[in-house]
Amino acid sequence: MKDNSHFRRYELKYTVSEATASQIRNYIRHICVRDPHTPSGQSGYIVNNLYFDTPGRQFYTDTKFRKMTRYKPRARFYGNQAGEFIWPEIKYRHASIIWKQRKAVRIEEWPRLFSIYPSESLRPRINSGIDSFEDMLYWHNASSVVHVRYFREAYVSTLEEYGRITFDRRLCYRPLNGSTDLQYREEEMMYYDDPVTTVSNDSSIILEIKVGTWIPYWVIHMIQHFRLKQRPFSKYCYSIDHMLGNAISERSFRRHHFRQSGLSRQNPQTL
């Protein structure tokens, strides 16, 4: 494992159309350059997030109802399939301020994170809270819920020490139901960036603006120029909402089919 890394930033989220995304890309062309992690010849890269939650979906509920201070554990890898490393992390949020604690774990060590013995987690620690991915899973009895994948077009500012503009597209997910297996088939992925799920007029692009301890003037001017309206958009929550919507729709279809077929629980002789 590599050493833990901590960083803090402001994070602002918006949903924009392809036309607006193109205009913003043109607007920042003299301020930002393409993220150096972007593969050569590509416009972006694939991001995968594995989200974990409590049996009662505490982290989902805190985010859904915009609890001012909240956190959630997740793990991230890049590309169509996991490569050499995966990055477990804890994401903390207070209003628009984000803190992250993450570390790089070799893929072969990934399964070991889920085999912590109670004696290890219960070992006394002086002046220490829940400060690791493994501790959070243990103390909250959290397990994997959903794997979210999307394509990210990312740019970094040349004017500040830290500044990022990202456009996320092609959001899709697959239920995990407690599995930590990183291998998956493409047909398992379900897309959910449609207008109904994202509550927009068309299939939206998720614009994220991430800056350090202060918001630069060019970012403020860009927000005003394009009349961007900040909105909460949790990829995790929307994937769960879509999943629950599909489950409700499937149950409704089965009930409708049951009634149409003339079958009834009150008349078992006809079954």
pLDDT tens across 66-110, in order?
Answer: 899 999 999 999 999 999 999 999 999 888 788 888 899 999 999
On whether the CB atoms of residues 73 and 136 are closer than 8 A, the answer is yes
Q: Tell me the C-alpha distance between 32 and 162, whole Å.
A: 11
| Residue 263 within any structural domain of the chain | no
At 244 the pLDDT is: 87
Domain count, the chain: 1
Got the DSSP string for 154-199? Answer: EEEESSSSSEEEEEEEEEEEEE-TT-------GGG-EE--SHHHHT
What DSSP state is assigned to residue 121?
Answer: H
Q: Tell me the C-alpha distance between 165 and 154, whole Å.
A: 6
Given the structure tokens 């697959």, which residue do they identify?
174
Angle at 90 between CA 178 and CA 198, to 5 degrees: 70
| Residue 141 within any structural domain of the chain | yes
Which residues does 172 contact at the CB level (< 8 Å), separation at least 6?
148, 149, 150, 189, 190, 191, 192, 193
Return the number of other C-beta atoms located less than 10 Å from residue 134's C-beta: 17
Exposed e or buried b for every residue in 47-60, given b needs 16+ CB within 10 A? bbbbbbbbeeebbb
| Residue 255 within any structural domain of the chain | no
Domain range for 215: 5-234
| Residue 252 within any structural domain of the chain | no
Q: β-strand 5-16 against 32-34: which pairing, if any? A: unpaired
| Residue 11 within any structural domain of the chain | yes
pTM metric for this prediction: 0.82
Interhelix angle 18-27/217-225, rounded to 10 degrees, is 150
At 119 the pLDDT is: 44
On whether the CB atoms of residues 72 and 88 are closer than 8 A, the answer is no
Return averaged pLDDT per consecutive 10 residues of the chain, 271 residues in all. Answer: 62 94 97 96 96 96 92 95 94 86 93 70 48 88 96 96 95 96 94 68 82 91 96 91 69 47 41 32
pLDDT single digits (tens) 228-239: 999 888 999 999
At 39 the pLDDT is: 94
| Residue 134 within any structural domain of the chain | yes
| Residue 150 within any structural domain of the chain | yes
At 125 the pLDDT is: 47
190: domain CATH number is 3.20.100.30
At 270 the pLDDT is: 34
Q: β-strand 85-94 against 97-102: which pairing, if any? A: antiparallel
| Residue 147 within any structural domain of the chain | yes
At 100 the pLDDT is: 86
Q: Tell me the C-alpha distance between 252 and 23, whole Å.
A: 43
Q: How many residues does the chain have?
A: 271
Which residues does 198 contact at the CB level (< 8 Å), separation at least 6?
15, 192, 204, 233, 238
